[in-house]
Structure 1
Amino acid sequence: MGWKTLDDMDLSGKTVLTRVDINVPVKDGIVTDATRIERIVPTIKDILARGGKPILIAHFGRPKGKVVLDMSLRVAVPALEAALGRSVTLLETLEGAEALTDEAKAADVLLLENIRFHPGEEANDAAFAKRLAGLGNIYCNDAFSAAHRAHASTTGIAQHMPSCAGRLMQAELEALEAALGAPQRPVVAVVGGAKVSTKLDLLGNLVEKVDQLVIGGGMANTFLAAQGLNVGKSLCEHDMAPTAREIMTKAGAAGCEILLPADVVVAREFAANAANETVPAHACPEDAMILDAGPQSVARVGAALDSAKTLIWNGPLGAFEIEPFDMATNAAAKHAAALSKAGKLTSVAGGGDTVAALNKAGAAEDFTYISTAGGAFLEWMEGKELPGVAALNG
């Protein structure tokens, strides 16, 4: 890994252009979940402690190169100030950032207005990137979640100034390197979710990198059907059966064992506490749908985790949103968390549904690392080069 960290930079007296992700949920003008803001605090405090002045660069929503007042970053300022315990001054225009007022110069932290108000951002316009670079002395990217985008503030700017990873970006990259780059073996991956079609690249990459691949959720139904099993009225992409068989063949050639459900929990309706039964995977009734993996399947996943040194997790094993079809996800997640807490397993998880499922299971706190990056995490798992990371290597 050729990227530098804040430890490699002399920040004293320097203006540090810091790309962050504070694209937080908002309701009625109030930030409802400040997790993303809280996770950038170590980087900002580190820059300040070492004599640097941070100018935060961030996006909010998708204004598509136009000024949209409802997407102003002004809404994030109170939450930022609360998290940092310092004043934050919003720079409403690029011109204002280029000619700072005395008041702005005296502020602890500066925040540039929504970078996506400018068409040059998503176009990765070279002139715009150079103009951005003119605002400071050092570039720090702390937005791994935006690293899969080749935008001016994630890649273009790095060509014009000394660049490094912030603490959150550093933590993400180190966790991912430990999970797939140079992991301790055996490596187990748990991949769930609704559709195989959305995770083809992911599965294709993982079967060549891991020792065991647990497939759950609606995706597992497609693999079961591809083996000739009846899945009744379950969510299933029957047209993806040939692709599923190709993935299984590829896994066999790579020495990767695929673990599919051996038993399943079925119901006649998709509703909380619906009448249900556990049957062998090959015995799903015609009028029922598979909504979770059964206890025998959970035991097999547990055994795989017991023998593993590294775990990568993306997606739930069943319809975790409704009880009792969260049983398999909860049990496997708690088992992985216990092994991680005991120092027996390095566990890295990511993806929207994944974070929600692990939080619901009460397991998230004990995982080694949970990525909030979403799309960037998935593209990394797919084996793709992330432009924002590649730019730091440059």
Structure 2
Amino acid sequence: MAWKSLDDLDLGGKVVLTRVDINVPVENGAVTDATRIERIVPTVKDILAKGGKPVLLAHFDRPKGKVVPGMSLRVALPALEAALGQPVAFAEDCVGPVAAEAIAALPAGGVLLLENTRFHKGEEKNDPEFAADLAALGGVYCNDAFSAAHRAHASTEALARLLPACAGRLMQAELSALEKALTDPARPVVAVVGGAKVSTKLELLGNLIGKVDSIVIGGGMANTFLAAQGIDVGKSLCEHEMADTARAIMTKAEGANCTLVLPVDVVVAAEFKAGSPNEIVAASACPPDRMILDAGPASIARIAAVFSAARTLVWNGPLGAFEIPPFNTATDAAARQAASLTRAGRLLSVAGGGDTVAALNASGSAADFSYVSTAGGAFLEWLEGKTLPGVAALDQA
């Protein structure tokens, strides 16, 4: 990769337009999960330490190019100030005189948050004029929003081409982790691909087959692969119409010497609810009136053996219906195994995706993974082998 980091640019006395992702969940006017805000702190602190003036650019929700008071970034100020441990100034616009005056008034050591970039139509249209208006406000551009890097928007793509540009610490960490995991990984490499539907992970599976040594398939996706082999999966979540596609994926994997790891035993129940009576059966013996909700102990043992032999792990998606115990058992066990191997220095583990992060947090294992990405769509598109506009712009800046 050809991108620069904060260490490669002179920030002294310069306004650093810093694209961050603080599109956080809010209820009753208060931030309920400040994880994304907390993750930008190292970048902001480093810019300040290097004598720069961090001016934060961000989006919030989907105002679709209109000023929507209920979607103002002002709601993030208290959580941002708490994370940074200092006051943060706020400007009611992200371009024009209002933004320029707020920047001019920013003292050394100060931080400024500009209003929602998506209040302007030019943001999502990646409009050159809007990007030029943004660029006029600063001397350096820093992109710390990997989770928005799959969007070719003015503040994530066009702006990077108009100013000296670099990656922030969070972006740097994301890119470095992903490069280690897929670009030049220590082998063997294992991927965990779970979730409800094969149809949503076709590009991911197609890209990974040529890059990893084995793929553990879990969740509803595994049911589709079992059914494609002629196995009755009862009332399980299953895309029966994807059987031909599943068989084609199995053939492709065999040709690429990539092992697909499917459940050999499963946990079945009559319904998906807490306390529902359940039993463990062979993967080929799901009763017609039951549904598969998790992988069984023999499957867990097989996954543990695959992990133990691996040097690199990439994880996207849970192995079962982890939201309701006891159907979180396989996901939790696999996560703890990966965490243990990582702590022991035997495994590089990189995970990402909304359900994945929630599952790893629930298992208590997230902190021990080498890297857990908060990016959803961007993480998935990277794993699919797609070019991310925000990253490509940094490469070419």
Distance 2:106 2:216 in 1: 53
Which residue identity is paired with 2:177?
A: A
- SS of residue in 2 equivalent to 1:197: coil
Distance 1:194 1:146 in 2: 24
Q: Could you state the TM-score of these two structures normalised by the residue count of structure 1?
A: 0.99
Provide the residue aligned with 2:380 in structure 1: 378
Q: Tell me, yes or no, if the aligned pair for 2:142 and 2:166 is still in contact at 8 Å.
A: yes
Deviation at 1:55?
Answer: 0.6
Distance 2:104 2:128 in 1: 30
Distance 2:109 2:77 in 1: 13
Provide the residue aligned with 2:27 in structure 1: 27
Provide the residue aligned with 2:17 in structure 1: 17
Provide the residue aligned with 1:280 in structure 2: 282
Provide the residue aligned with 2:356 in structure 1: 354
Runs (4+) of structure 1 exceeding 4 A deviation are none
Q: Tell me, yes or no, if the aligned pair for 1:193 and 1:219 is still in contact at 8 Å.
A: yes
Distance 1:163 1:101 in 2: 19
Deviation at 1:72?
Answer: 0.2
- SS of residue in 2 equivalent to 1:7: helix
- SS of residue in 2 equivalent to 1:145: helix
Deviation at 1:97?
Answer: 1.2
Distance 2:239 2:249 in 1: 15
Which residue identity is paired with 1:117?
A: F
Give aligned pairs, total: 394
CA gap 1:321/1:99 in 2 versus in 1, 3 angstroms: same
Provide the residue aligned with 1:144 in structure 2: 146
Most deviating of 76-85 and 383-392? 76-85
Provide the residue aligned with 1:185 in structure 2: 187
- SS of residue in 2 equivalent to 1:223: helix
Provide the residue aligned with 2:209 in structure 1: 207
- SS of residue in 1 equivalent to 2:201: helix
Provide the residue aligned with 2:224 in structure 1: 222
Which residue identity is paired with 1:48?
A: L
Deviation at 1:125?
Answer: 0.3
Q: Tell me, yes or no, if the aligned pair for 2:55 and 2:103 is still in contact at 8 Å.
A: no
Provide the residue aligned with 1:60 in structure 2: 60
Most deviating of 87-96 and 219-228? 87-96
Distance 1:365 1:327 in 2: 19
Matched, 1:75 2:57: no
Deviation at 1:272?
Answer: 1.1
Provide the residue aligned with 1:262 in structure 2: 264
* 165, 168, 171: which one aligns with 1:166: 168
Q: Tell me, yes or no, if the aligned pair for 1:87 and 1:107 is still in contact at 8 Å.
A: no
Provide the residue aligned with 2:313 in structure 1: 311
For residues 99-114 of structure 1, the aligned pairs below 5 Å read 99-100=101-102, 103-105=105-107, 108-114=110-116
Note the alpha carbon deviations across 1:354-376, whole angstroms, 9 max, x for none.
00100111111111100000000
Distance 2:392 2:338 in 1: 32
CA RMSD, Structure 1 to Structure 2 (Å): 1.0
CA gap 1:160/1:99 in 2 versus in 1, 3 angstroms: same
Note the alpha carbon deviations across 1:333-383, whole angstroms, 9 max, x for none.
100100001110000000000001001111111111000000000000000
Deviation at 1:99?
Answer: 3.3
Distance 1:100 1:352 in 2: 35
Deviation at 1:273?
Answer: 2.0
Which residue identity is paired with 2:205?
A: L
Distance 2:102 2:110 in 1: 13
Provide the residue aligned with 2:345 in structure 1: 343
CA gap 1:233/1:56 in 2 versus in 1, 3 angstroms: same
Q: Tell me, yes or no, if the aligned pair for 1:271 and 1:322 is still in contact at 8 Å.
A: yes
- SS of residue in 2 equivalent to 1:210: coil
Q: Tell me, yes or no, if the aligned pair for 1:72 and 1:114 is still in contact at 8 Å.
A: yes
Provide the residue aligned with 1:130 in structure 2: 132
Q: Tell me, yes or no, if the aligned pair for 2:194 and 2:218 is still in contact at 8 Å.
A: yes
Distance 2:212 2:102 in 1: 52
Unpaired stretches in structure 2, ≥5 consecutive residues: none
Q: Tell me, yes or no, if the aligned pair for 2:103 and 2:112 is still in contact at 8 Å.
A: no
Unpaired stretches in structure 1, ≥5 consecutive residues: none
* 163, 175, 178: which one aligns with 2:177: 175
Deviation at 1:105?
Answer: 4.8
Deviation at 1:101?
Answer: 7.1
CA gap 1:103/1:15 in 2 versus in 1, 3 angstroms: closer
Matched, 1:6 2:1: no
Q: Tell me, yes or no, if the aligned pair for 1:352 and 1:374 is still in contact at 8 Å.
A: yes
